[in-house]
Structure 1
């Protein structure tokens, strides 16, 4: 290594300044890039009003939606009649099932003499004749007069009614209802609301932070965090008690297995007395699970299978059509420029429009259903796969092809032994990747009317109520994509001669 003197270094710098001293652009390019990036982010923040959107977003509502994905509610309503009698009602489709007697609710009952007013009977006077007989053909019929009968006196009867109801929301939170007062306790704080049998609601004292009354004398909303909430009116309390999990996932309230433990169900299936004389307990259990009206397992799985078939058939047909067309589009395979350009522009036309737009078009043409989805996938992927296949053909090594040609092989043999061995693994790998990707895409285009689980998911989301079912279908979609992604990666790794990682 030769050492240079300071004079020689200065002379070298003078002769080649661009080598020793970097250009100004090289020095300032990183700060300039960071400045442009920051300016762009600030402009986007201002243009899309991101700060205002974040400030006005209802994060509590969003969190409530997420909670509903993994919880269910029981919704009892405690009503206080004018004579002081109380009764507790559950909605018809409440997951608690018939004859609810939950452990978290205590009801005190008494015998009470109640006066029940009977509705007066209505008597109708029969017409003298019909229109054909009295006024000629097509003449209007005379009106029928309804005469109310004299009102009947109220009847008195002895009934068993609820005199006191206590609902335990958490270990330290309760709702106690009596004919005179509705009391809500949460920890050390307490609310008392007198029963008024009117539209006005007035609490005794100030409301704590976990209670809200939007307008004076309006209903009072009380929150118990994850455990649920309740709405207090002048003569009723509507309770929403929340539980973690999915209610009645296997057996609905109408099933003979409803309410039984896992051990009881297994015992009945293994050798218990038949619950239905016409079929075995195993057959009855499978039937109740598949046709569960709350979760609709069979329908959901059938729609998921439609989505899988839609993605597979659409991708397969696209690969079969793109394969021969790619040989025409490749310039080193087909030495015909017009044919190359026409085929490539055809590929551009197919893939220039998104799959979702093609799905809307084919849904309009063929009607809703999997056929429209398969057509959209087939049409879009033909263009995409055709472009990828043709580019792979244009980048092959020409030596194997020249070697096969030199021995006098026919053109078909040249492609078979000189071209296909190089590109076939790439073709199959790309097709498998598109098949995996289309499993996700089929869900989206299904929501636009192409059928499958995407359409069922969209129908459930439109109600904004059945969030556990939505999450159930989302999990099925995620699991399906994960399985096909694993299979596709394993096959691609084997095709290109590497072990799967």
Structure 2
């Protein structure tokens, strides 16, 4: 390829001056555009105080919430008396069951005789004082003067078995030892020693590491061990919060006869074991225990999820059916009446301009909480949106196909049937399928305001601020349903659009 000489270059410049123009203007516009974006981002950072929000965010709480999604917490409280005797207590609904004895808690017990203060019995007090029966309240002042009724205590010598030493092992790097009014905590290579008096005072005997917090001297100490849990040391109690990965009692709750049994034993009981309940088989009993699990409520969650799916399907179906005839009225190239076009389009605008959540609140007030309110909200919103999309699709059709059908003398209805519908029907179906899949997600949100479905149950679990593993369970179910519906919707849409091209 030979190079152009100066004369040829001048000739080209004369014929096409725009080719040799400097691109400085384009570079300037690009720089101006980038500068405008930068200024906008700086303004947004200042206006929304993003730096202040990030700086004051409590990331530890966010981490705890995230850990709650994938783990569960076992609680135990070690009560410490002034003489050093201890007792350990678990919550009534502990995930460990009715008689917890975890391997991460090691206890040493001994029998001691000690003097304790116990409430005095009314009958014993009366007999001891030699007084007769009286309608006066115990502890009331003589002579008729009113006096505060105080709890009467008496000292009593008792012999009982108490805990003398307790060791709680969180993991290989963390453990707490409680013995003789002294608490030793080891974590991440550091150790603190705390003396407690069995009443209300906490005395720190060593330096406080980063993972321990005491607001004021003598007050309780809070210990944070990260994902493995936390603890509190008070004057008369050590509260243990040990965290474990997984969802506790997901299959059987603590009231089930199958609780705590290994999988092999459960399978043996179901297939060939003696009946645990004389009125039903072990298989039926196990299935019943799973469905009515008190902690996870599987049957109720699945029922609410099915409600959400039905709400999305019925609401979208009705919206498609109503939007279909109305879109022909709204399309200017189909209905040659400006008044009808505008009235129908403004009707669509009214339905879709009010958010689905607002419609859900309105219908919840009208019909009461339940799926009917959710279906009505989806129906109203989608009728407006689908009607607008359908009418715009009609206005963009190729008129040649319609004119061809009309030229053979077909009736107006036949013209729409054979000249218009083949062009737009795949588009209509594709859009309806997309909205069906999208409304499965939307139905979850509107359920939180009382419109039924799993959204309401999800909101109830979040509101307690303690059942985040249940929240994670429901979110996982919603994700699975959305993934399935998204794949199904995409497959059907691809098939419909593919038929259009053949």
Aligned to 1:140: none
Aligned match of 1:77: 77
Counterpart in the other structure of 2:244: 243
For the residue of structure 2 that corresponds to 1:435, the secondary structure is: helix
Unaligned stretches of 5+ in structure 1? 124-142
Q: What's the counterpart of residue 420 of structure 2?
A: 419
Q: Which residue in the other structure is 1:203 paired with?
A: 204
Residues of 2 paired with 1:88 and 1:198: CA distance? 16
Q: Provide the residue aligned with 1:91 in structure 2.
A: 91
- Contact 1:121–1:148 under 8 Å retained in 2: no
How far has the Cα of 1:197 moved from its partner? 2.1
Q: Distance in 1 between matches of 2:492 and 2:253?
A: 41
Give 3-state SS (helix, strand or coil) of 1:497's partner.
Answer: helix
**Equivalent in the alignment of 2:45:** 45
Q: Which moved more, 1:219-228 or 1:230-239?
A: 219-228
Secondary structure at the counterpart of residue 109 of structure 1: strand
Candidates 134, 137, 153, aligned match of 1:146: 137
Is the contact between residue 401 and residue 417 of structure 1 (CA under 8 Å) also seen in structure 2?
A: yes
Equivalent in the alignment of 2:285: 284
* Alignment coverage as a number of residue pairs: 480
**Which residue is 1:26 aligned to?**
26
Partners in 2 of 1:192 and 1:311 — Cα distance? 59
- Map Cα deviations across residues 65-86 of structure 1 (whole Å, 9 max, x no partner): 1011101111111111234321
CA deviations on 1:417-445 (whole Å, 9 max, x unpaired) are 22111111111110000000000111111
Instruction: Provide the secondary structure at the position in 1 that maps to 2:194.
Output: strand
Measure how far apart 1:116 and its partner are. 4.6
Cα distance in 1 for partners of 2:312, 2:173 equals 53
In the alignment, the residues of structure 2 paired with residue 366 and residue 144 of structure 1 have an alpha-carbon distance, to the nearest angstrom, of 57
* SS of residue in 2 equivalent to 1:73: strand
SS in 1 for 2:175: strand
Aligned position for 1:138: none
- Contact in 2 for aligned 1:72/1:245 (Cα 8 Å): yes
TM-score (norm 2): 0.90
Q: Which residue of 2 aligns with 1:477?
A: 478
Q: TM-score, normalised by structure 1?
A: 0.90
How many Å separate the matches in 1 of 2:445 and 2:366? 19
User: Cα deviation per residue 1:216-273 (whole Å; 9 max; x = unaligned)?
Assistant: 2111122323221111112211011110000000111111110011111111111111
Q: Which residue of 1 aligns with 2:330?
A: 329
User: CA offset at residue 352 of structure 1?
Assistant: 1.5
Q: Report the counterpart of residue 136 of structure 1 in structure 2.
A: none
Partner residue of 2:295?
294
Q: Deviation string for 1:337-377 (max 9, x for gaps)?
A: 21111111111111122211221222222222111111111
Q: Any conservation in 2 of the 1:330–1:390 contact (CA below 8 Å)?
A: yes
**Higher deviation after alignment, 376-385 or 365-374:** 365-374
Does 2:419 align with 1:428? no
| CA–CA distance in structure 1, aligned partners of residues 59 and 498 of structure 2 | 50
Q: Is the 8 A contact 1:86 1:179 kept in 2?
A: no
Q: Give the match's secondary structure for 2:162.
A: strand
Q: Is it true that 1:183 corresponds to 2:184 in the alignment?
A: yes
Greater Cα offset, 237-246 or 445-454: 445-454
CA RMSD, aligned part only?
Answer: 2.3
Alpha-carbon separation, structure 1, partners of 2:496 and 2:152? 89
8 A contact 1:251–1:288 mirrored in 2 = yes
- The corresponding residue for 2:68 is 68
Higher deviation after alignment, 394-403 or 61-70: 394-403
The residue number in structure 1 matching 2:146 is none
Tell whether the 8 Å contact from 2:402 to 2:418 is kept in structure 1 after alignment.
yes
CA distance in 1: counterparts of 2:111 and 2:156, whole angstroms = 16
1:318–1:181 Cα change, 3 Å: same
Name the stretch that deviates more: 166-175 or 301-310: 166-175
Q: Structure 2 stretches of 5 or more lacking a match?
A: 124-133, 141-150
Q: Secondary structure at the match of 1:146?
A: coil
**Distance in 2 (alpha carbons) for counterparts of 1:172 and 1:385:** 60
Deviates more, 1:278-287 or 1:6-15: 6-15
Q: Structure 1 pair 485/15, CA: closer, same or farther in 2 (3 Å)?
A: closer
Contact 1:120 1:148 in 2 (8 A): no
Deviation for aligned residue 1:396: 1.6
Q: 1:20 to 1:265 in 2, by over 3 A?
A: same
Aligned counterparts of 1:151 and 1:397: Cα–Cα separation in 2: 96
Partner Cα separation in structure 2 for residue 315 and residue 151 of structure 1:
70
State the Cα distance separating 1:156 from its structure 2 match: 3.2
- SS of equivalent residue, structure 1 residue 249: coil
C-alpha distance in 2, partners of 1:173/1:333?
Answer: 76
Quote the residue 1:496 is aligned against. 497
Q: Deviation at 1:118?
A: 4.4
Deviation at 1:59, TM superposition (A): 1.3
Q: Deviations over 1:293-332 (max 9, x none)?
A: 1111111111111111111111000000000001111112
Could you tell me whether the CA contact under 8 Å between 1:122 and 1:146 is conserved in 2? no
1:438-473, Cα deviation, whole Å (9 max, x unpaired):
001111111122111111111111111111001111
